[in-house]
Amino acid sequence: MANPTLTIDLNAAVSNWQALDALSGTSVETAAVVKANAYGLGVSELSKAMSGAGVKSFFVASCEEGAQLRQAIGDRAWIGVFSGHMEGDLSLISQYNLSPMLNSKEQITRHFKTLPNAAFGVQLDTGMNRLGLEPAEWHDLKSELLAKKPELVMSHLSCADTSDHSMNRQQLQVFKALTDGIETRRSLSATGGILLGSEYHFDLTRPGIGLYGGLPFAGAAPVVHTNIPIIQIRDVEIGETVGYSNTWTAQRPSRVATIACGYADGVTRHISNKAHLFHKQTPCPLLGRVSMDMIAVDVTDLQTEPHSLDLLCAHQSVDQIADIAGTIGYEILTSLGPRYNRHYKL
Ligand SMILES: *Cc1c(COP(=O)(O)O)cnc(C)c1O
């Protein structure tokens, strides 16, 4: 078998949720964000594991994702949709009992015209300028909206991964000014906001990346492990080159392993010539360019003949690979792609 293996530790994801939940008071509900197929790891498996551990509320990006989640998880869970009520969402919202987080006047009009008695939440912009009602719009619509009993009023922090960023407090103050005194449940924080402390927690938190083992939750247990089979090993002489565009030249007689994983599997070309793969705990340098389906690795210094190598593992986190690639762990996870043999560990 020449496909790489992606092992997803559901227990680790559940314990990450429990650890994040424990950071807020008992009156604060901790939801789970499972958008983008649970950050690429499998929405059905992850949401069932979370639900089994007591998670009652989930968030997805779109109503299409909400429909898929509902089918996986059954009737009892609450499902919030960040993109709100878009044109064409009507039948999905009613058929799958989704709660759109309405974010514009246009969506509010659409929702009440077509589904006057259906559940909804309201999204406010507190400075990120991505989604949500502007403070002035909220001011105009507030009493009408609150009379219709929204399930949640939420906003989103733009700089919560940087704990001392002044934007955090600024958005907190705007959110409080807009919502203090209302009866509706409130939510401001994703993973980063949970770590900022109890002032940021309100009634419900919405962690995503922390569940899947990524920063800014430094205490997260690793959730993903990728193991990649070696297709062949060859001897390369001094002065010979490896891979597309000859970007690596042997400086010593080398043993070079060709492994079955590439940028089609989310191993970005930006780590060409920079990252390491691991044989047990021994780092082995990645040689030359990452190809679509293959990567070359220097295994000269290994004492035993390897059969496979690890990329994401106990010795190398998604964030370490993200750093090398100049991106964030979120993008590494969501890029992993469909070709892996996926194993879910309980
Ligand atoms: C993605 C997202 C989250 C989860 O964010 P993490 O940083 O992954 O914890 C929460 N709320 C909103 C609005 C989001 O878009």
**Which tens digits make up the pLDDT trace of 121-177?**
999 999 999 999 999 999 999 999 999 999 999 999 999 999 999 999 999 999 999
pLDDT for res 224: 98
Q: Are 246 and 271 within 8 A, CB to CB?
A: no
pLDDT for res 317: 96
pLDDT for res 109: 97
Q: What is the mean pLDDT of residues 19-32?
A: 97
Pairwise CA distance, residues 118 & 105, whole Å? 17
Q: Which residue do the tokens 């005194």 mark?
A: 181
* Closest protein CA for atom 6 of ligand 1: 208
**Alpha carbon of 73 to ligand 1 centroid (Å):** 20
Q: Which residues line ligand 1 (CB under 6 A)?
A: 33, 35, 82, 156, 190-192, 206-210
Q: Which of 82, 161, 318 to mutate to test the pocket of ligand 1 (most atoms within 8 A of CB)?
A: 82
pLDDT for res 261: 97
Query: pLDDT digits over 252-309, tens only?
Result: 999 999 999 999 999 999 999 999 999 999 999 999 999 999 999 999 999 999 999 9
Q: What is the mean pLDDT of residues 87-102?
A: 97
pLDDT for res 154: 98
Q: Determine what percent of the chain is predicted with pLDDT higher than 90.
A: 99
**Alpha carbon of 299 to ligand 1 centroid (Å):** 39
Q: How many CB atoms lie within 10 A of CB 98?
A: 25
The answer to whether 10-212 and 224-345 have equal CATH topology is no
pLDDT for res 319: 97
Q: How far is CA 202 from CA 159, 173, 176, 210, in A?
A: 18, 13, 10, 19
Pairwise CA distance, residues 38 & 68, whole Å? 12
| DSSP-assigned states of every residue in 236-275 | E-TT-EESGGG-EE-SS-EEEEEES--GGGT--GGGTTT-
Q: How far is CA 45 from CA 60, 71, 211, in A?
A: 15, 12, 13
1 pLDDT exceeds 90? no
Pairing of strands 295-298, 282-287: antiparallel
Pairwise CA distance, residues 93 & 166, whole Å? 37
Query: pLDDT digits over 201-225, tens only?
Result: 999 999 999 999 999 999 999 999 9
pLDDT for res 17: 98
CATH number of 224-345: 2.40.37.10
Q: Which of 323, 271, 346 is nearest to 48 (CA)?
A: 346
Cα 168 to the chain's mean position, in Å?
21
Pairwise CA distance, residues 96 & 143, whole Å? 28
Catalytic residues: 35, 244
Query: pLDDT digits over 98-113, tens only?
Result: 999 999 999 999 999 9
Q: Give the SS3 label for residue 208.
A: coil
pLDDT for res 72: 96
- CATH T-level assignment (fold) for domain 10-212: TIM Barrel (3.20.20)
For the chain, the structural domain boundaries read: 10-212, 224-345
